[in-house]
Structure 1
Amino acid sequence: MGANITELFNQMAGMTDEEIAEIHPEHNRNTIKSLLHQLHYYQDGKCIVHDMFGHEVVEKINELYSDAFLTAHLEVPGEMFSLAIEAKRRGMGVVGSTQNILDFITQRVQDACDSNRDNHLQFVLGTESGMVTAIVAAVRRLLNSGESSSKSTKTTVEIVFPVSSDSMIRTSSNDCHGLSSASSDDIAKLALIPGVATGEGCSIHGGCASCPYMKMNSLGALLQVCQQLSEKNNSPSVYRAKRFNSTTPLGRSIAEVGCEPILHMRHFQATGKLPEKLIRQILDQPIEEAVAS
């Protein structure tokens, strides 16, 4: 995310003042350039799932889906991020949070449903697979509501979820041999689809490009915690995660520093303005202390 924010600011520094004002009216090329030398980030970390959207995937998108809408979460690797940024400038993409991606897709589908012509929309998802269900459900609701109207036009939507070929199991034409008791027509319908391969960032339980750590937060896990609560102490507080006791060289709690960027992001998404606390930190701290997580 830190690398993507740096890339975002570098691209904004090459925009005109008018283009920057559309993103944030209180900034221009000079203010953006003044931020660049103050922006530092931790370069040794990565998300094991978002890292799958790399060079090979970007090449496939350019080859097969050059006319599709592109979406990218803030944490996808730089190549996918840059591709979506460029698409955004053409009005064909979005870069942001999962909610930003969902809003972008539903708005484009709604616009297509409201038009008086046939439409086929393609959306390439650059995010974790957990987003797919919410997006498909929202798109289905819009398409079903459109079918109930008297319009003769039709809108179809294709959701493309790209991943590296290394995460997929190969199949052969002989993979249907276990279905010999079925008719030939049934065999054609039941042909096996290449599935996910076990490996980092991918599992048979979560599906391709699914985060194994996010999948630990399940209803089954929650029920297990509730069942383990003792009768004498029926409060889940006993399972509360312990806070890090370590501190930064400046004496601040690591837990506090780690959560602070997320709180700043939530404030910006809710109000459209950077929080005063963040502004004061940037303006008051020496450059070497103004570290972006």
Structure 2
Amino acid sequence: MSSIKVEFPNGDYIFVSPQDQHLFEGKLIKRPDDSRNIIYSPVHKNNISIQRYILNPPKGFMGVQKIKDRYNFTRENLEIVDKRDAAKRQRQKYLERNPGRSKQPVYTTSDDKVIVHYSYGEDSFFIIDLEDQSKIEGFTFRKMGTPKRIEAIKEVDGVKTYRSLERLLLSTDKSSRVMQINKDLCDFTKSNLMIESKKRSQLQRGPNKTEGKSSQYKGVYQERKRKGIWRAKLVVDGIANHLGCFPTEIMAAQAYNKYAIELYGEGYVKLNEID
């Protein structure tokens, strides 16, 4: 079958079937380096794969290349497949490349820690204390939400139960919030997990940039009666710790940061970013 060369402004190109040449005429098209996606404007949506653009598959289906090729997007190398079938096919190829791997997690012990690989992505792992391995045995895991958190799944008599990994490890319920101190989403060792109240969790938030607030910094307020005077305070569990008054907004923000670090250490409290 004959093919037509379609060139991009950056010098890149692809080959398509003659019947699809019109899809690319008069469009502002580019392709990021090492990508099979095209980005074009102004009429169409951005970041759509070339194969999807050409085939326009119905909902629940996707366009794929029969043979992975950065340049060959002719009809004879494209097909429409069910998304679920494609996912199963991808999983099967992975298992063929990695014998012995399945949905069941793989445990690797290192000193007093355990590295748990639960899927086939490079970042699909987490670290726990060796003594906690028994708590997660019998579970499978998946990433959920934004930012990504890890959910533990257990099936008994056909019924699945779901728990967040951090609550499973600390044996807490949904009324408690568990945070990772160093913000490493793969580190679930007990030294990196902390149970906190909803009031205490406010310490993790950045500045409240509500319109009309007197300061751009967290924990900093301008005196109403004394113009040019700034007050700093840190509220913990409903109790206000007044840190004093300062002649500048930045000095008050610095005082907040200093006291927060002294009280909780680095990494726990969201500090003010001061230029």
Greater helix share, structure number: 1
Q: Do they superpose with TM above 0.5?
A: no
Pick the TM interval, shorter chain.
Answer: under 0.3
Q: TM-score, normalised by structure 1?
A: 0.17
**Higher RCO (C-alpha under 8 Å, 6+ residues apart):** 1
